[in-house]
Amino acid sequence: MMVALIFGVFVLVLLIGCPIAIALLLGGIVPIMALTDIPLGIVVQRLFSSANSYSMMAVPFFILAGNLMDTGGVSKRLVNLARSLVGWLPGGLAVVSFLACAFFGAISGSAPATVAAIGSIMIPSMKEDGYPMPFILATIASGGWLGVIVPPSIPMVLYCISVGSVAITDVFLGGFIPGFLLAGGMSVYAVLWGRKHMRHATRKFSIHEVGRSFVDALWALGMPIIILGGIYLGIFTPTEAAVVAVAYGLLVSTLIYHQLSLKGLMQIIRRTVITTNICMFIVLSSTVFAAIMTREQIPVIVGNAIMSVASNRLMFYLLVTLLLLFVGTFMETIPAIMILAPILTPMLGAYGINPVSFGVIMVITLGIGMLTPPVGINLYTAVSLCGEKVERVINRHLFAYIGCALVVLALLIGFEGIIMFLPNLLR
């Protein structure tokens, strides 16, 4: 009865069009009020105790740092650097988009922010070079997904918080190689397509242009180097790194690039507050929903069901991947991680799976949901940049990019050492 009420309320609230945070909160509170004698004061205490997390403080600061660097002219310089490096390839502007998204993802940690920052520059450039709009939109939406895989990544931070026993530093390190493998895999499709359809758009390689673009982007590239280097060398924690990122972004945007005014700073702070409130509301609502599920032993039931079917590591990954792909089609990455990570991670020991590599694979798999309707936040962000309908971005190019991502995902599952190489090397 309790389980039916939990998921019944959750699904019903979603179907009537309420935000995911409201659905999670009501899915937890309504069963508590109807079928238990737990005081609502306990629920409120749970919400506040969940927010009272030192690691959670990293989230708003990383969001603010990404907004500062975006408005401060960083995205344009990263695009110019990427264009000088790979713009000469067939379909080169698509490869530029992926490389620029990977660079910017190492600053912002957010997929929608990456789509908006890089897309606002690349969409006009690709249109000018004659790329078809369906290809452009699919490329920008898929490239923005790298923003949650290349560290620092907000979903990775929340995975570590929800699990509690995994170091954020290790998961960040684990995401580096997979992030660039994904960028490389999607670039292969773009180059093959470009050789057939866009040879006229290819430009010549110039070492002089590479050098000039590199010098111009040096301060932009300094942020991930200083922040991630400081974390891995033990100079500061991920939360302290987020604060350093804000200070660095403010310095670069105002004193070096001179592209941030006081009015612009106020707009950035306002945008950051709104984004942080949305993110934190989802996270805190997820803790209430997860708490009532734990009380009803739903994680144990799900775990026993999976373990009764999955006889080995690969079978476990197959079932979990299908589950995460399905969940990603209708639920955003952050609430999905907050709900599913505590359910799935207790089973990892039985299959000899490292929780660090599982966290990276979980973020990648759920991230594919950013490219699939009806949620598909990257799709809606991409089309909002040019006033197109979302149907234009759902095309064969998008499915080809998703196919490339699934191939890389299968490679990572089969060879866990790819993810664990950097964490083991720098431990």
> Where is average pLDDT lowest: 134-148, 327-341, 404-418?
327-341
> Where is average pLDDT lowest: 37-46, 196-205, 331-340, 401-410?
196-205
Q: Which residue has the higher pLDDT, 318 or 328?
A: 318
Q: Which residue has the higher pLDDT, 405 or 17?
A: 405
Amino acid 240 reads E
The predicted structure's pLDDT at residue 241: 84
Q: Select, from the ranges 121-135, 262-276, 291-305, 350-364, the one with the highest average predicted confidence (pLDDT).
A: 350-364
How high does pLDDT run on average in the chain? 83
Residue-wise pLDDT tens digits, 235-250: 888 888 888 888 888 8
Mean pLDDT within 137-151: 86
Structural domain spans, the chain = 54-425
The predicted structure's pLDDT at residue 201: 58
Spell out the residues 6+ positions from residue 314 whose beta carbon is closer than 8 angstroms to its own. Answer: 413, 414
The predicted structure's pLDDT at residue 199: 64
CB atoms within 10 A of CB 273: 13
Spell out the residues 6+ positions from residue 284 whose beta carbon is closer than 8 angstroms to its own. Answer: 47, 50, 51
Q: Rounded to an integer, what distance in angstroms lies between the CA atom of residue 424 and that of residue 9?
A: 44
Q: Is pLDDT above 90 for 411?
A: yes
Q: At what angle do helices 168-197 and 92-108 cross, to 10 degrees?
A: 170
Q: Which residue has the higher pLDDT, 362 or 279?
A: 362
The predicted structure's pLDDT at residue 200: 62
Token pair, residue 348, equals 């990892």
Q: Rounded to an integer, what distance in angstroms lies between the CA atom of residue 20 and that of residue 37?
A: 26
Residue-wise pLDDT tens digits, 248-288: 888 888 888 888 788 888 988 898 888 888 778 877 787 77
Contact between 27 and 19 (Cβ < 8 Å):
no
Q: Which residue has the higher pLDDT, 389 or 178?
A: 178
Residue-wise pLDDT tens digits, 10-64: 878 878 877 777 888 888 888 778 777 777 777 777 777 767 777 778 778 888 8
The predicted structure's pLDDT at residue 362: 93
Residue-wise pLDDT tens digits, 83-99: 888 877 888 888 888 88
